[in-house]
Structure 1
Amino acid sequence: MIDLTKLPLSITSFSDFCERNKIYIDKTDLVAKLAQFDAPIFLSRPRRFGKSTLVSTFHELFSNGL
């Protein structure tokens, strides 16, 4: 049985994941391709499915070069 108290359910910022020594995994196979686009992208994912965290990840990647 998985201990849900150890899952970072309230973290939505990629920098918070790094600061708290947590791991963020987006298993979407198209994330690397999204990072290569040079045009606006509409993200359509179900509610509570990591849209804010994904956008935060891209922000950290492109602003800080992580």
Structure 2
Amino acid sequence: MTEYQRRGWSCVWCHAVLDAAGAVSLGQQRVVPREGAAYSWFPRACADKTACVTREEALR
């Protein structure tokens, strides 16, 4: 997962760059690794699911 995806700047599924109007928040996620410090990440996805699926298929 890219930094853009972890920060909610791009879609977690299709990698499209997102803005506030074109995104759905997937909620703050907290990760507690076995080693190292805990951290939060903020995934978001495209609001237009059909376009997202089309872009995701193009990445394959």
Query: TM-score, with normalisation over the residues of structure 1?
Result: 0.23
More strand by share: 2
More helix by share: 1
Query: TM-score, with normalisation over the residues of structure 2?
Result: 0.25
Higher RCO, 1 or 2 (CA under 8 Å, sep at least 6)?
Answer: 1
